[in-house]
Amino acid sequence: MSTSPAPIAVSVTGIEKSFGPTRALAGADLEVGAGEIVALMGANGAGKSTLVKILSGSITADSGTILLNGKAVSFSSPSEAQAAGVATVHQATDQAGAAGLTVAENLTLNELCGTGSFFVSPRSTRKRAREIAALIDLDLPLDRDFIDLRPAERQLIAIARAVAAKASVLILDEPTSSLSATEAERLFAVLRRLKESGIAILYISHRTGDLAAIADRAVVLRGGKVVASFAKPIDFSAAIAAMIGRTLDAGAHAGTVSTAPVLAAVRGARLIPGARPFDLDLRSGEVVAITGTLGSGKSRLLRALFGLEQLVEGSFTLDGEPWLSNGPARSIENGVFMVAEDRWASSLLPPEIPGASIAGTIALPHLPRWFPLGLLRETRERLVASEAISRLGIKARGPDDTLDQLSGGNQQKVVLARWQAAPCRLLLLDEPFQGVDVGARADLIAAIRNSQSGSATLIATSDTEEALEVADRILVMRDHSLYEADGSQEGGLAAVIGSVESAETRADGTGPAS
Amino acid sequence: MTDHAASPSKPASTFAETARKYALFVLLALMLVGFWSAQPAFINSANLFSILQAVSVVAILGVGVSITMSAGGFDLSVGSVAASSVMAASYAMVVLQMNAAETLALVLLMGAMIGLVNGLLIVRVGVPDLLATLSTMFLLAGLQLIPTGGRSITAGMMLPNGTTAAGAYDPAFLILGRGRLFDTVPYPVIVMAVVALLAWFLMERTRWGRVFYAIGGNETAAHLAGAPTKAYRLWAYVLSGTLASLGGLIVASRVGRGDVSAGNSLLLDSVAAALIGFAVLDKRRPHVLGTVLGAIFVGVLLNGLTMLNAPYYTQDFVKGVVLVGALALTFGLGKKKR
């Protein structure tokens, strides 16, 4: 790593950070040269986001040193980091600017908020905004409200601002996760220009397609340490092996072709106008994962099955009967359950609310059937919760603990327990491993796989590795249509990743799924 | 609790929790003792029941407010509904010559209908809760004046069309506000107790209450768990409107005429009661027991201060101080950061 040709822009040595008993970073070392694009890879919980937060000043390290252009620095706030020339573009693009302000105002936001002149006129703002936009060849209507911009456009605004602020280090946290292929291509073009101008870029992503396109070097983080570093041309299967800490093998459960009766079927489904229609059969006892990028239509299919959205065309059947739900109530009555993504927004209650305990959370959708007369019997709720706590290994003091006291993985176990507390026919899980650590993920996978008698499970995940670990069969969603993953039968993580990647870049399909 | 200063950190925080939980009960007891020692006449059944009678309407309206709050809404129209109910009850008896039973049914129905309109505005039309109930509040404040041309309603009053009103208050109706059970317990206190008990049971012991709170806590989560959230929110406003008109009926039967200024402070007082209730038992959410206790707390304080010859105009100031203190207790003071 010390042989980078360019001067070192930022160098991190022996950074440690603990959150309570959890060691997020255990002595991480990293260098990024000026004009170099370094890909930071790592599984969930490897410490990527902690490292980014330390570099961008959101949190401070417990120990270790950061050298910026040769000088030791320590940031106690994001604005200090910015002033020192470290700019960060976060994954959540709604924070990249201020809604209600125009593109021009957002581009000049740093100057409006501090260093600029006291008087601003629309004319001077537009003039300055045009100069800033020109830095990265950004071509956007300057009068458009930030809130009407697409994520890709918001990101570019954040990058333009960083460049205008004379950043010497640019950190991009999963920048392409919500971008289309053309948008990503445009982003890469901008990044290559910045690289030419000598900016050091730290690029966080687990999409190997992106990394192959732009990274000069890949650094793999695991367990809070840098475990490997790969120079160009990057060997991605070795990088992924380093990431997950073992060699690539076939999916844990793939390979056995189910002959059970078809439980749920999708026929000629068109998710959005103009998308290619597709079919899908879910057999009894089967766990099927759909992978693909954000916005490819995975959630939309799940939501349509659950009755939150409607298909443009096509139909569903459940146990041979036509199935069309008008909403969650009807779906739940019929044994079609969904765990939506983002569990705090979609499933959990704030702690001061009655029923925010583990017992209450599990009971919420089942109240009408458990207590038809209306009178609550908390012993019944607690009994179900205690059983779930011991069966799923939920780390809690008891059924009355509120969910905010639990870790992400344990929260997700409670949400899963909710839907295992009643007879289920079709279980829909949208990103069930979001914010779940590796250990809890293994428990969740075991729980999902063990509850499979007589029901089918459909999982949407953008993480191919997760898909391989949990599913009997993996399908790839691309442009709102479903495709069989290349070679998922004979196995190989690389094969599935390959088909996800090709799904992102290719326009033609490989044939409809089952 | 005696040696909390010496005990290590864990029990100390438990003590702080316990203290916060029962703070309002302790303060209430201290107030009772304090007023009693300053003015022995404070503690006798007549005065205590007169306090409860004075707070009964505020408590009943506050229960309605806390039900809408628990479902994530806010009913600003309760004061106007109560005031309109006073006018409607008077109009029904004095002008339309209805009897007590008909009047009760009519006014309660009117309250429920207003609640339904509020609810429909909110869940069907999509007007935000505060704005919808603010506009019905205005609408009712004006509407109640129109039938009588802006004047109070009394027996034998001159109507806008020049004739004289033929009816009068039904004596049976007046019993509601003026009568006492066994010559001791005023009927409004009994109504308050029954309303509080039923509402407490609904909100804390049935699945319907659980869903009200779930909707207030996270409407998306409640919806995805299969709860008919719109129907629940509609019902919350219907309940709130009905309870507000019940409060109005009690005012009418106590005053015995349709006073245009009746119910002026009812909205703020009932909202304050519901908010003070957040601090009771450290629940940090609207709840029926807290609301009733909040109303009683303010009632005791005002009654005691009046006995000690505190001027009338300090009342709102005192209520404000109590509210600020209770909310600081609820949301800030010594609260453990999670």
All residues of chain A having their beta carbon less than 8 Å from the beta carbon of residue B226 are 327-329, 331-333, 365, 368
pLDDT at A262 over 80: yes
Facing residue for A367 by CB, picked from B210, B224, B283: B210
What's the pLDDT score for residue A500? 57
Cβ separation A367–B207 shorter than 8 A:
yes
Cβ separation A376–B205 shorter than 8 A:
yes
Interchain CB contacts (distance < 8 Å): A and B? 85
What's the pLDDT score for residue A22? 67
At B11, the pLDDT band (50, 70, 90 cuts) reads very low
A122-130 long-range CB contacts below 8 Å, 24 or more apart?
A129/A103, A129/A104, A129/A105
Cβ separation A328–B226 shorter than 8 A:
yes
Tens digits of residue pLDDT in A166-192: 788 888 887 766 666 677 788 888 888
Q: How far is A490 from chain B (nearest CA, A)?
A: 38
At A485, the pLDDT band (50, 70, 90 cuts) reads low
For residue A78, whether the previous peptide bond is cis, meaning omega lies within 30 degrees of 0, is no
Put simply, whether B218 touches A (Cβ < 8 Å) is: yes
What amino acid is encoded at A115 in this protein? Answer: T
What's the pLDDT score for residue A20? 66
- Mean pLDDT on B314-336: 78
* B246 vs A478, higher pLDDT: B246
- Mean pLDDT on B65-73: 95
Q: How far is B195 from chain A (nearest CA, A)?
A: 18
- Chain-centroid distance of CA B266 in Å reads 8
All residues of chain A having their beta carbon less than 8 Å from the beta carbon of residue B207 are 367-368, 370-371, 374-376
All residues of chain B having their beta carbon less than 8 Å from the beta carbon of residue A429 are none
pLDDT at A453 over 50: yes
Out of A95-109, A267-281, A412-426, A482-496, least confident range: A482-496
What's the pLDDT score for residue A82? 80
All residues of chain B having their beta carbon less than 8 Å from the beta carbon of residue A332 are 225-226
Out of A14-28, B39-53, B312-326, least confident range: A14-28
Facing residue for A365 by CB, picked from B206, B225, B283: B225
All residues of chain A having their beta carbon less than 8 Å from the beta carbon of residue B214 are 349, 353, 355, 364
Average pLDDT taken over every residue of chain A = 81
What's the pLDDT score for residue A6? 64
Task: For residue B177, give its domain range.
Answer: 22-331
What's the pLDDT score for residue A486? 52
Facing residue for A355 by CB, picked from B210, B220, B223: B210
At A498, the pLDDT band (50, 70, 90 cuts) reads low
Q: How far is B190 from chain A (nearest CA, A)?
A: 24
- Chain-centroid distance of CA A309 in Å reads 22
pLDDT at B136 over 70: yes
* B207 domain-assigned: yes
pLDDT at A339 over 80: yes
All residues of chain B having their beta carbon less than 8 Å from the beta carbon of residue A365 are 225-227
What's the pLDDT score for residue A491? 46
* A22 vs B308, higher pLDDT: B308
Put simply, whether B231 touches A (Cβ < 8 Å) is: no
- Nearest-CA neighbor of B79 among B245, B299, B291? B245
- Mean pLDDT on B217-233: 94
Facing residue for A375 by CB, picked from B205, B222, B228: B205
What's the pLDDT score for residue A438? 67
Q: Among all chains, which residue has been given the structure tokens 């009338």?
A: B312
pLDDT at A514 over 50: no
pLDDT at A59 over 70: yes
Put simply, whether B78 touches A (Cβ < 8 Å) is: no
Question: E strand or H helix at B213, and its extent?
Answer: helix B207-217
Put simply, whether B217 touches A (Cβ < 8 Å) is: yes
Tens digits of residue pLDDT in A292-303: 776 788 899 999
Q: How far is B122 from chain A (nearest CA, A)?
A: 20
Q: How far is A362 from chain B (nearest CA, A)?
A: 10
Cβ separation A364–B227 shorter than 8 A:
yes
At A499, the pLDDT band (50, 70, 90 cuts) reads low
Domain count of chain B? 1
Q: In whole angstroms, give the CA distance from residue A115 to residue A137.
A: 24
pLDDT at A449 over 90: no
Cβ separation A353–B206 shorter than 8 A:
no
pLDDT at A386 over 90: yes
Rg (CA), chain A: 24
Distances from the Cα of A21 to the Cα of A17, A24, A408, A441, B238, angstroms: 10, 9, 15, 19, 51
* B259 domain-assigned: yes
Tens digits of residue pLDDT in A348-380: 888 888 889 999 999 999 999 999 998 999 899
What's the pLDDT score for residue B316? 82
* A423 vs A22, higher pLDDT: A423
At A206, the pLDDT band (50, 70, 90 cuts) reads low
Facing residue for B214 by CB, picked from A349, A370, A404: A349
- Mean pLDDT on A474-489: 73
pLDDT at B116 over 90: yes
* B226 domain-assigned: yes
Q: In whole angstroms, give the CA distance from residue B305 to residue A319.
A: 72
* B14 domain-assigned: no
Compare all CA atoms of chain A with the CA of B69 and give the residue at the minimum distance.
A353
Compare all CA atoms of chain A with the CA of B331 and give the residue at the minimum distance.
A352
What percent of chain A is modeled with pLDDT above 70?
A: 84
CB A342 within 8 A of CB B221: no
All residues of chain A having their beta carbon less than 8 Å from the beta carbon of residue B206 are 371, 374-376
* B42 domain-assigned: yes
The per-residue DSSP string of B65-134 comes to HHHHHHTT---TTHHHHHHHHHHHHHIIIIIS---HHHHHHHHHHHHHHHHHHHHHIIIII---HHHHHH
Maximum CA extent, chain B? 79
Q: How far is B108 from chain A (nearest CA, A)?
A: 25
* B225 domain-assigned: yes
Cβ separation A352–B283 shorter than 8 A:
yes
- Mean pLDDT on B177-183: 85
All residues of chain A having their beta carbon less than 8 Å from the beta carbon of residue B284 are 352
What's the pLDDT score for residue A306? 94
Tens digits of residue pLDDT in B264-273: 789 989 999 9
Q: Where are the domains of chain A?
A: 8-244, 248-285+309-339+462-514, 343-423
Q: Looking at the domain covering A8-244, what would its CATH class be?
A: alpha beta
* B293 domain-assigned: yes
Cβ separation A345–B217 shorter than 8 A:
no
The per-residue DSSP string of B115-128 comes to HHHHHHIIIII---
All residues of chain B having their beta carbon less than 8 Å from the beta carbon of residue A352 are 283-285
* B10 domain-assigned: no
What's the pLDDT score for residue B289? 95
With an 8 Å Cβ cutoff, the interface of chain A facing chain B consists of 327-329, 331-333, 338, 340, 345-356, 360, 364-365, 367-368, 370-371, 374-376, 404-405, 418
Facing residue for A340 by CB, picked from B209, B216, B224: B224
* CATH code, B129: 1.10.3470
pLDDT at A436 over 80: no
Facing residue for B214 by CB, picked from A338, A353, A418: A353
Facing residue for A347 by CB, picked from B206, B210, B224: B224
The verdict on ipTM greater than 0.85 is no
Which residues are CB-neighbours of A11 under 8 A, at least 6 positions away? A30, A31, A32, A66, A67
All residues of chain A having their beta carbon less than 8 Å from the beta carbon of residue B211 are 364, 367
- Nearest-CA neighbor of A190 among A151, A138, A146? A138
